[in-house]
Amino acid sequence: MIHHDVIIVGGGLSGLRAAIEAKRAGLDVAILSQVHPGRSHSGAAQGGINAALGNHPDGHDDTWEKHAFDTTKGGDYLGDQDAIMKMTQDAIRVIYEMDHWGCPFSRYEDGRITQRPFGGAGFPRCCYGADKTGHYLLHTLVEQSYKFGVKLYVEQYVSKLIVHDGVCQGVIAYDMIRGGFEAFTAHAVVIATGGSGRIYENSTNALINTGGGMAMAYQAGVPLKDMEFIQFHPTGLFTTKILMTEGARGEGGYLLNGLGERYMEKYAPKFMELAPRDIVARAGQTEINEGRGINGMPYVHLDLRHLGAEKILERLPGIRDLAIHFEGVDPIEEPIPVVPSQHYTMGGIDTNYDGATPMPGLWAAGECACVSVHGANRLGGNSLLETIVFGRRSGADVVRYMEGLSGKRPPNPRTADAALRAMEDKVDALHRAKGTEDAYKLRTEMALVTRDYFGVFRDEATMAAGLEKLLDVKARSKNVGLRVSTGAFNLDMIRTLDLESMIDVALCMAAGAVNRTESRGAHFRTDHNKRDDANWLKHTLAFYRPDEAGPRLDFKPVTLGTFEPQERVY
């Protein structure tokens, strides 16, 4: 058994930032991460991070209040406005802190950080480092975590929370390098495991984004909030769904249909290609569905040619490389074939704006959490911001919690031992089971159901059929087995355990989507195509039921107060 004051699960931007905050207050902090922090999905972020710095020539009048308004409207008024204000107000300080810590942002001639226009934003407020912003931010925080002396356990797969009398007291982790499970006890645990994009087959996300952290909290009794809101990014590469950043449109890229038309004129005449993602994704899908894809094919074009080689090479070099290597198209010469693709999980573990979950001892930050600042649709550039702002706030709240703990009573060793044994027994039982079902096939089946039944456009009959299919996959997943139960790098075991998490997360998404009989942000129903504030201006909460396949749903009010809900026009 290993003990630390604080355990952070996940070494992406949010986990690193939480760890640094707790560590520099003098706590003993450890990060457990399935991959080296520098390989977290945060590093794949391209386009940028929002803050109302007002550096852009067209952005001098920008303020954090305007950023808050754009975020609230972009989220179709489902975001909690107090949390949104905290995020947009903190944003400016956070960017300068990252700057001072050495993040190599792109700059104007006078040295100030450059900003580009991004979707749904009234001003160009997206700060960036070429098209590698996530990579730069992530490596800056990895360096800082080394500097502050955060203890790192790399290639640890966390599979379960240790809970004693309703209080989180640690985690159980599989040591991928040495093999075998270990109990890690702590006074405070922060889950920072990122999104669950891989529950969809057509995702821009890393393979590791399976929603494991969400499932751990959910199975321990913490509700998942607003899981029906899944973001589809308008421009994933047609073949692989690898992301072509919104920054490409921020730099002036066009979206074209098979008739060569800039079709956004019909859907968002003012904002055009830079309308919020839900609107641009629906537009692209409509063009495809109505037969105006390119040469009758199910994709549209992202055209950057008019930007010229110099701008593409300076501002979008990574995008060009990805398009060449994964689609065989050089954007300097040809338009890029793109399709709407699953991109982001607006929902997640229910937290307040200090990252605290309803369970004492447990916090969550980053994409796995739902604070909620993104509401029903996240604006591009706000997720990187969320990870750092709420990573820091979670770390600070952990520090306050620890100060209030009288005598720091150690976690209960018997509970930790029992949780460890339960995990080992579970894996043994999977090994003993003959396994009539194949975990890999079930995972693919599930990911095709989410893609085909819970996509950009949704309706009752399709979703109800999809929900039935997910319940069937869950029932059959009880009959999977393990070929090997021991040893190092047992990826077969990890993927089999992931399957259970992914199905639970998918069921929360599906149940919430069927239940919400309105259209709001990214959740668009052809059978209820209007927003319905009278009945649905509320958060969905999904609670785990050990004896039933799907969740119990409940609701929670949205924090309003500053911006009155109005019609969303762009």
Ligand X SMILES: Cc1cc2nc3c(=O)[nH]c(=O)nc-3n(C[C@H](O)[C@H](O)[C@H](O)COP(=O)(O)OP(=O)(O)OC[C@H]3O[C@@H](n4cnc5c(N)ncnc54)[C@H](O)[C@@H]3O)c2cc1C
Which residues would be at the binding site for ligand X (CB under 6 A)? Answer: 9-15, 32-35, 37, 40-42, 44-49, 133-134, 156-158, 192-195, 204-205, 208-209, 212-213, 243, 245, 344, 366-368, 380-384, 387
Q: Taking the chain, what is the end-to-end CA distance rounded to the nearest angstrom?
A: 55
**Preceding amide of 372 cis, omega within 30:** yes
With a CB cutoff of 8 Å and minimum separation 6, the contacts of 147 are: none
Closest contact distance (angstroms) between CB of 192 and ligand X is 5
Q: Which is nearer to ligand X, 27 or 365 (CB)?
A: 365
Residues in the chain: 570
Burial group, residue 306, by CB count within 10 angstroms (0-12, 13-18, 19+):
exposed
Tell me, rounded to whole angstroms, the distance of Cα 325 from its chain centroid.
25
Q: How many CA atoms lie within 13 A of 567 on its CB side?
A: 3
Nearer to ligand X, 327 or 518 (CB): 327
For residues 65 and 562, give the distance between their C-alpha atoms in angstroms, rounded to a whole number: 10
Q: How far is the CB of 355 from ligand X (least distance, A)?
A: 12
**Farthest CA pair distance, the chain:** 71
Asked whether the beta carbons of 15 and 196 are under 8 A apart, the reply is no
Q: Are strands 348-350 and 369-370 parallel, antiparallel or unpaired?
A: parallel
Q: Which residues contact 540 (CB under 8 A, 6 or more apart)?
A: 225, 226, 227, 228, 347, 512, 515, 516, 553, 554, 555
Instruction: State the nearest-atom distance from the C-beta of 20 to ligand X, in Å.
Output: 13
- Are 204 and 343 spatial neighbours (Cβ–Cβ below 8 Å)? yes
Q: State whether the Cα torsion 62-68-69-73 is positive or negative.
A: positive
Beta carbons within 10 angstroms of residue 484's beta carbon: 10
CB of 390 to ligand X, least distance (A): 9
CA distances 199 to 84, 229, 449, 450, 506, Å, are 27, 13, 9, 7, 6
Instruction: Return all residues near 321 (Cβ < 8 A) that are at least 6 apart.
Output: none
Task: Tell me which residues are annotated as active site.
Answer: 277
Q: How far is the CB of 269 from ligand X (least distance, A)?
A: 26
Looking at the Cβ atoms of 33 and 519, the one nearer to ligand X is 33
Distance from C-alpha of 241 to C-alpha of 256, rounded to nearest angstrom: 18
Q: Which residue lies nearer to ligand X by CB, 285 or 341?
A: 341
Helices (H), 202-269: 212-219, 247-250, 264-267
Q: State which residue, 90 or 367, has the beta carbon closest to ligand X.
A: 367
Minimum CB distance to ligand X, residue 153 (Å): 9
Q: Give 237's strand partners.
A: 338
Rounded to a whole number of angstroms, the minimum distance from the CB of residue 177 to ligand X is 13
Shortest separation between residue 230's beta carbon and ligand X, angstroms? 13
Q: Judged by CB, which is closer to ligand X: 71, or 156?
A: 156
Q: Which is nearer to ligand X, 192 or 359 (CB)?
A: 192
Cβ-based nearer residue to ligand X, 248 or 542: 248
- CA 256: distance to chain centroid? 28
